[in-house]
Amino acid sequence: MTSKQQTLVGGISVLGIAGLICKVVGVLYLIPLANLVGSHGLGVYNQVFPSYNLMLTISSAGIPVAISRMVAARVMRGQAKNPNRVFRAALLILTVLGLLSTLVMMLFSRRFAEATGTPESVHGFLMIAPSLLLVCMMSAFRGFMQGRRRMWPTAISQLIEQVGKVGVALPLAYSFMQNGGYAMGVAGALLGTSIAEAVALLYMAVDYFFLRPKLLPAIAADQHPVEPYKSIVKELVYTAIPITIGACIVPLAGAIDSFMLVKLMKVYLPEDVALSNYGIYAGLVISLINVPTALAMAMSSNLVPAISGKRAAGDTEGIKRDAAAGLRLAMVVGLPSSVGMSLLSYPILRLLFHSKYTLDQLRLGSELLNISALTIVVFTLVQATSGILQGLYKQRIPMYTLFLGVLVKVGINYTAVQIPQINIYGAPWASLTCYVISAGLNLYYVAKYTKMKLSLSELLLRPGLATIAMALPVYLISVWQGERLGTSWLFMGLVILLAVAVYFVAGLKTKAIKAEDLPARLRRK
């Protein structure tokens, strides 16, 4: 394990960069898929995925976080045998849960499809079902590696997943579509996803196979008492259940959206228009805002073992330091991402999806993205605060706050989307409200349990000034050269690089970005 991977910022950068690459590849994968299956096919695709994500979260979300936290705490205490026992117990539990989830999705695939209001999505549910078992097993390996602060295996497996989608899912989507239309094209893409997950799991298993011999000398020399599996499983379950429930809330909200939004809009819109609007929102807009949130997920994954390890060592100052760094980095990453994507919403959508979507559809997506982009910074804060609270063994708090936010979201969706004048525009406002509620309450509890005073300057003023410095030239360019931005990859790339450079310099000048955030070579310069 390298010293860089052991640091909070180093671990975040490893998973964050890999996550960003994965999200970018995912969007690049979405472009030919969207062009291949069209907005109706994308609507079907995004009616299958929320249900899959919900079942996957139920099966695997809580236990990997529990594994990383339990492994990190035991490693911090100098133990070698017990971290491996945690991994073996978790792998067995996740394999059983994943197998059950796969069987449920296969057996009830027709009912899932009918519940979405799109019966032709049944083949998609069948093709994605094996991924539930594969990702569950892979989550055990990832949780173990992250608990030992080895972030590279997770990062590489994520890259394998995304590259596999491009190399396998797209050809399968094209092949299936030739024989059965857009619904079968979606099924082919989802089958490719399952194949990519299988390859990623194989990589994680091979990595563990080569790591294990390096751990054996420490295991043989370990004199600590061996924990019984019964107590390990009890701790795993006790830790994982509230985290799983909390992690299920967002996919549950997505699944509710997939069932609710189209049906609400069908009251006053033709079915194909309602499905198209939902496909644009869920398939294009949500996919784009998920790109910068990769760093948010990296923060959460690193904060849990970092905070729990320091808690096990009784290092209260270290907890405050890592919690403050996590919150600051959430704003440093989230705020410019929100503003930048909002300013460039129409050129980005036109550049990516002009060949299959009309200008009116792209304008609709742009208006939705203007609102949805604001959720990036708030979601990043939700993830960072949740990671801190989970590391402090306060895993129930993020569950409660997010549940409250989702209740409000569902209420707004139900009341707003069924109004023809508001239409699909109610959905992004509902999501934004949900995350604002959760982030605000989480921040209160982070300050309470870390006994840390939140700094308005660190969290808002410094990154805010740097973001304004970045936003001004981007706004002027988008006004003067908006048409060119939406038609030239080179020009868009140069504008994004300019925005990153301006923000980086402004961040250093305002001290929103600190020297310790940088790699050692840049720090010396």
Long-range contacts of 452-459 (CB under 8 A, 24+ apart): 452/320, 452/323, 452/324, 454/327, 455/324, 458/324, 458/327, 458/328, 458/331, 458/512, 459/327, 459/328, 459/331
d(CA 125, CA 108): 9
Q: Is the pLDDT of residue 9 over 70?
A: no
Residue 1 is predicted with a pLDDT of 41
Spatial separation of the C-alpha atoms in residues 328 and 326, rounded to whole Å: 6
Per residue in 342-368, pLDDT (tens digit) is 999 999 998 888 777 788 888 999 999
Q: Which pLDDT score is estimated for 425?
A: 92
Of the candidates 316, 380, 303, 38, the one whose C-alpha atom is nearest the C-alpha of residue 149 is 303
Each residue of 148-157: b (16+ CB within 10 Å) or e? bbbbbbbbbb
Most confident of the following: 56-60, 65-69, 161-165, 451-455 = 451-455
Q: How many CB atoms lie within 10 A of CB 303?
A: 30
Judged by average pLDDT, the poorest of 52-56, 469-473, 517-521 is 517-521
As a dihedral over the C-alpha atoms of residue 325, residue 331, residue 337, residue 340, rounded to 10 degrees, the angle is -130
Q: Please write the tens of the pLDDT for every residue from 274-283.
A: 888 888 888 7
**Average pLDDT along the chain:** 83
- Residue 166 is classified by DSSP as I
CA torsion 129-131-133-135 (nearest 10°) is -150
Dihedral in degrees, nearest 10, Cα atoms 381, 387, 388, 390: 140
Q: Is the pLDDT of residue 19 over 80?
A: no
Q: Hey, what are 107's tokens?
A: 């057996």
Q: Which two tokens stand for residue 454?
A: 């939140």
CA–CA gap between residue 269 and residue 277 (Å, rounded): 10
pLDDT higher than threshold 70 for residue 22: no
Give the model's pLDDT for residue 4.
41
- Looking at residue 228, what is its pLDDT? 92
Distance CA 278, CA 339 (A): 24
CA 310 to chain centre: 25
Confidence of residue 464 (pLDDT cuts 50, 70, 90): very high
Whole-angstrom distance, CA of residue 100 vs CA of residue 484: 51
Percentage of residues of the chain with pLDDT beyond 70 = 87
Only one residue has tokens 């996803």, namely 193
Tens digits of residue pLDDT in 283-312 = 788 878 877 776 666 666 667 777 877 887
Q: Contact, 12 vs 295, CB < 8 A?
A: yes
pLDDT band at 2 (very low <50, low <70, confident <90, very high): very low
| Residue 454 Ramachandran class (φ > 0 left, ψ -120 to 50 alpha, else beta) | beta
| Whole-number pLDDT of residue 300 | 62
Using the predicted structure, report yes or no on whether residue 394 has a pLDDT greater than 60.
yes
- In order, the DSSP letters of 1-29 are --HHHHSHHHHHHHHHHHHHHHHHHHHHH
Identify the residue with better confidence: 117 or 425. 425
Q: How many CA within 13 A on the CB side of residue 159?
A: 14
Question: What's the whole-number mean pLDDT along residues 313-329?
Answer: 85
Distance (Å, rounded) from C-alpha 255 to C-alpha 55? Answer: 10
Q: Which amino acid is at 247?
A: A
Residue in the block written with tokens 């792209």: 362
Residue 149, classed as helix, strand or coil, is: coil
Residue 125 and residue 104: Cα distance in Å, rounded? 11
How many CB atoms lie under 10 A from the CB of residue 117?
Answer: 17
| Interval 212-251: pLDDT, tens | 898 888 888 888 888 999 999 988 888 888 777 776 776 6
Q: How far apart are CA 268 and CA 424, in angstroms?
A: 12
For the chain, helix, strand, coil in percent to 5 are 85, 0, 15
Give 460's DSSP letter.
I
pLDDT at 332 over 80: yes
pLDDT of residue 318: 84
d(CA 303, CA 322): 8
Q: Which 3 state secondary structure label does DSSP give 344?
A: coil
Distance of CA 304 to the CA centre of its chain: 15
Contact in structure between 425 and 265 (CB atoms under 8 Å):
no
d(CA 142, CA 87): 10
